[in-house]
Amino acid sequence: MSAPITQDVLTIPRKLPDTGRTNIVGLSREQLLEALVAAGTPERQAKMRVGQVWQWIYHWGVRDFAQMTNLAKDYRQLLADKFEITLPEIVSRQVSTDGTRKYLVRIAGGHEVEVVYIPEEGRGTLCVSSQVGCTLTCSFCHTGTQKLVRNLTAGEIVGQLLLARDDLGEWPVQGAPKDETRLISNMVLMGMGEPLYNFENVRDAMKIVMDNEGLSLSRRRITLSTSGVVPEIARTAEEIGCLLAVSFHATTDEVRNKLVPINKRWNIETLLNALRDYPRLTNSERITFEYVMLAGVNDTDEDAHRLVELIRGIPAKINLIPFNEWPGAPYKRSSNNRIHAFADIIYKAGYASPIRTPRGEDIMAACGQLKSATERGRKSRAAIAAEAAE
Ligand code: SAH
Ligand code: SF4
């Protein structure tokens, strides 16, 4: 694409140095308390110290113990000796003509994941990754062509939000009037990976993100997207309580088996049964059904009618995603007319059916286009096309 983009490439060492210090980012309050006590904090002070350190890091965005001015100087030194406040490092940042920013971020071991910031009228959404690669192989997804390398730690998941706030300069200034407008007002777990295959780390990270004395993002502003890992759906309601999006994408098991192969394990009916309980468990919120529009594959009027029949009774919104093409992809995007006709049927059946505007396409930041350069090419294009045609 010819649209001008900017790109900064930062030169950093390929391997993060191992300092032997404990990284505080990603520790729960309980873990931090234990660690502070183990480092010599008197037990009776420990809870208060947790609160202070927590606020410095997650409310004020401080990265240096020396700046934690309500702590005694020798205590700050003790913290600096035993702990660190480390985030994944931004390797490159691309800014799209539409304002979308895509960060390539390096985590321990030299692996890379992508983080995308999408500014919109009145809100801004950060799309974070939960795994390096993905074990699932959805045939229309670029990440699905990449093998799973590893799960991200809770610290690496929270760290994506911290580094984006650093880059956007979004930390409160002490003494300045409180500013309620937030550049990053929403967060979606829709980057690389299947969040429900990394449940504990995702849950622990979201608890930090939702903590009221820190990043303080409400659970209603966090959306977790799953391809349909049924046993973890009720757990998500109970242990995280965020909004849920489901990569639905097809209205028959035959087609969904090809597009979202996890369907062979938990089919449409099993998935829908799990979804029916979710809104009740989390206080009657709507579930977002994501539906990628693939020309000639899942986009007929019959599909639209079947879709509304299937989800009947579930409070839902259907998010239609025009397929984002990537080099070698075995599908084409449905035409605009087709997408609108499909949306219309759903809308007339009583469901909101927004068509997602692809964002950051010029920098390959749109849904399903994420894939880091280091992990590229693990699976051949031919293999993907063959699977899709099975
Ligand atoms: N693994 C999770 C979350 C990441 S994918 C999941 O599958 O839900 C985020 C969304 O982007 C999913 O709905 C996914 O199906 C969709 N997606 C993947 N590749 C896409 C592509 N090439 N074009 C449009 N949407 C895509
Ligand atoms: Fe993995 Fe989601 Fe892509 Fe499927 S759509 S391969 S689950 S990241």
Any atom of ligand 1 within 6 Å of the Cβ of 225: yes
**Structure-token pair, residue 288:** 């977002």
Q: What is the three-class DSSP state of 294?
A: strand
| Average pLDDT rounded to a whole number, residues 335-354 | 97
Model pLDDT for residues 8-36, shown as the tens digit of each residue: 433 333 444 567 899 999 999 999 999 99
Residues 165 and 233 both lie in one domain: yes
Query: Where do the DSSP E strands lie in the chain?
Result: 6-9, 22-23, 83-84, 89-95, 101-106, 112-120, 123-127, 131-132, 150-151, 186-189, 222-226, 243-247, 287-293, 316-322
356 alpha carbon to ligand 1 midpoint, in Å?
A: 12
Active-site residue (options: 112, 114, 156, 361) = 114
Residues 335 and 313 both lie in one domain: yes
Q: Look at residue 146 in the predicted model and tell me its pLDDT.
A: 78
**Domain coverage including residue 135:** 89-382
User: What DSSP line would sit under 169-218, residue for residue?
Assistant: T-SPPTTSPP----SS-EEEE-SSS-GGGSHHHHHHHHHHHH-TTTT---
Q: From the CB of residue 281, how many other CB atoms can be counted at a distance below 10 Å?
A: 15
Q: Look at residue 179 in the predicted model and tell me its pLDDT.
A: 67
Q: Look at residue 194 in the predicted model and tell me its pLDDT.
A: 96
Q: How confident is the model at residue 370 (pLDDT cuts 50, 70, 90)?
A: low
Residues 71 and 100 both lie in one domain: no
| Average pLDDT rounded to a whole number, residues 70-92 | 96
Lowest mean pLDDT among 37-51, 181-195, 198-212, 279-293: 279-293
**How much is the mean pLDDT over the chain?**
88
Q: How many whole angstroms separate alpha carbon 320 and alpha carbon 292?
A: 6
Where a domain ends, among 51, 66, 84? 84
| Average pLDDT rounded to a whole number, residues 249-257 | 98
Model pLDDT for residues 167-205, shown as the tens digit of each residue: 999 998 887 777 667 899 999 999 999 999 999 999 999
Q: From the CB of residue 3, how many other CB atoms can be counted at a distance below 10 Å?
A: 10
CA quadruple 238, 128, 212, 56: dihedral positive or negative?
Answer: positive
Active-site residue (options: 134, 242, 367, 375) = 367
DSSP 325: P
Residues 201 and 218 both lie in one domain: yes
Q: How confident is the model at residue 359 (pLDDT cuts 50, 70, 90)?
A: confident
Residues 66 and 201 both lie in one domain: no
Pocket test for ligand 2, best of 114, 132, 136 (most atoms within 8 A of CB): 136
Residues 49 and 178 both lie in one domain: no
191 alpha carbon to ligand 2 midpoint, in Å?
A: 9
CA 364 to chain centre: 16
